[in-house]
Structure 1
Amino acid sequence: MARQEVGKVQEMLRTSPQEKGQQEAPPTDAGDILENDNGPVQQTEGCSDTELPLEGAQARLEELKESLYKREREITELLEAEQTPIPPIPVAQPPCAVLLRIVVEKAHDICNEVSEARLLVDHMFEENRVALAQAREKLDHMSQMTADDNNIKEEVNSAPEWLDSSDEYASNVLLLQETLRECEITQMALDCIRVGATPSLSDCDTTPELDEILGKGEGMKSVGQQLLLLQDQLKQVREENRKVVENYTSERTMRKKYYNMVEDMKGKIRVFCRIRPMSRTEAAQGGAIAVGRLDDYSVTVETSRGPREFQFDWVFGGESSQEDVFQDTNRLIQSAIDGFNVCIFAYGQTGSGKTFTMVGDRDQRSPGIMPRAFNAVFDILQENATKFDFKVSVYMLELYNDRLQDLFVSGAEAQSRRVEIKRNRKGLVFAQGAETKEASSAGELFAMFQQACANRHNAATKMNMESSRSHLIIGIMVESRNLTNGSVSFGKLSLVDLAGSERAAKTGAKDDQLKEANSINKSLSALGDVISALSSDLPHIPYRNSKLTQIMQDSLGGNAKTLMVVNVSPSDCNLDETLTSLIYATRVKTITNTAQRNLESKEIAQLKEVIIKLRSGQPVEDEEV
């Protein structure tokens, strides 16, 4: 406001002489005599009263200037106190300098990031170089034509298509000169873009002719437009690439999903892979991550020969929870209640997380598949209690040093009890001599499970604090009677937590632990032979080489719906064991089972009850026969 008032006062001072000229009398000659009260006076230049300065306005102007200076000092002191920098006054620069700097820097950054842009700029550079050479050649040719004025007409008559008449000759010369300037400027800009140099143009180092050309922005306008077009094309290409990748990933995932569904319908064993997180020991040893989850169905392993990829029915990463792993097993549990044989087992090296996957942690804050399956079984039974009559029985065994032991008993009784593996006519495997208990609720079944885990053999090794020294086998038999038609179905859910393969050098096993490790490795080796024979369609399957393969005979190549969870470590220090586990799991995925429902009609079920009563000496009613 102070500056505005100063401006008004100055305007008043400038306009006062003009007003004075309009109000005074017409001018007279230098010798004219004027009269006043004191007598005749000769008029002189510049001595009129109206030419005197406006003293009040002049004083007001000085006062306003002083106030303005004072106010500016106060603002400056305030800015310095707040440490706020005073904005610099922009220095006027030629428009061509600003345009060149911005365009060249932006284009150079794009060329560094995108190889396609770099190739395009090189192509533009070559094209402009050719156009520049052609323009110079034509201009030199036309200059030679103008050297001899006497031969202009003759040269015009014999000129090429681009030179039709003498008038067009002059315009073509100017056009060629303009084209030459544009090509030179474009060449300079493209050269700066390629090498990354930033041009600096100022009034002192540019000719008026060059300033005129660059001021118009004709040459740089062409380069700028091409660069803007290049940026738009780059955005479009990136967007198209993103859509292509998304579509490819979606189609790939969908294809694998449908393929797995077809294989499941054929009876193929389903295989899940779970990659546990890095352990503290592995991190302390400086181990690098060599195993990764490529997508929901793929695992990639970094080997010395390059990455290897494995395909499974589902892949769980280190961030997956216990609930995520159990989510896809509900359908199998329903199949066991419907009368099918179902087997879920975990496989992998020691310390890979098998027991955590199947059992969970010690405090059961993160329960595994087994305790979750107990709850799921009785939840399904409760939902169908009005339609079916159910009976649930269970046995729990461990295979320790190639000997089956009943986990429902302990001490000397467990050592003296003999448990043998038998098969019925339908190929169903059962443990003869093992105690079978009935369970009426999930809590009761879980209490039996805790008792079995307490009797299981565990030990600490260098690989983990609680290493399973035996194979845990849990069999849950579900007998359901349809209250509508009286049919009876028998289903069995086998839950197996295999002990891990190990190397004595890594685990530090000695004495009894070394004996246990040898027995574990022997049984797992026999399991590997069975898997290889089944995947190769050999006529003979060596089930009888180990009790482990005998008890899993109806799960591998039998009549069960089977799910295998292969557990692996992500660390490169366990790379050999990880590859072995993944190769075995890949072979298991090719095995085909023939799952059949164990269903009997009402009449057959009644006859079996009669036979059981007759064998036990119980009386039989006529209605039952």
Structure 2
Amino acid sequence: KLKLSLQEKKCSIEQKDRAISDLSMEIQLKLNEMIHIKTSLSGMSSAKTIIEAQLSAALSQITGKDQHITDINKELTDALTSIVDLKAKITTGEDLRKKLHNKVLELKGNIRVFCRVRPLLADEIVKNGDSDSILHLNILSENSIELLKGTANCDTSSMSGLKSRGNGAVEFTYDRVFGPKHTQADVFEEVSQLVQSALDGYNVCVFAYGQTGSGKTYTMEGVPDSLQDAGIIPRTVTHIFTEIERLKEHGWEYQIETSFLEIYNET
């Protein structure tokens, strides 16, 4: 019995030794796991510190940007206020310009007469001895011309009713005289002031009068598809729409209507 009891004790001790060994291994595993957790925790703590620093910097940037946005909004408000003031001044200035512009035209005369002398045509030059000089006419100034009677190679039948001033010359005065060398642009430069008055709301009428072949159609219409030789009508259309686009920026709106009338052989 004693031997059996010792054997049992020995088996019990061996079991406990194995249990202790298993527990020791488990403890070691737990210790290793704890060391790993501590290492991870230390890394996380460092990462947390870095993230907190980044967050603090981001918050500082946001605060700075908020202030910057506030400053920009203030500048924008000031700019919008300034734009409103400038638009009001532009509108006031445009109204004043209209009044002054049309006052100038009134001073020049509400009814004005221009005279345009066209150059000689090819057959007329031949009859004139191959000279393009107009022998029976002198342009004295921007406002007056002189017709001469009895000039060689000149048909004076149409001048029979004119009163001579003693030297065979008769002077006519106009608001503006355009000679043979004046261009379409020169003529429109004078007429454009009236076109501007129409845009300003005033009633304006421009018409050409003269005998057949005197250059009325050329003056009013010009040569098709030629910018240089464009007449008063196409230049007026261009001027009107250019001004409309410019005045759109100032809040002006225009409605355009057009009609065409040609009086021919009116009696």
Please give the TM-score of this superposition, normalised by the length of structure 2: 0.49
More helix by share: 2
Q: Which has the higher strand share?
A: 1
Higher relative contact order (CA 8 A, sep 6+): 1
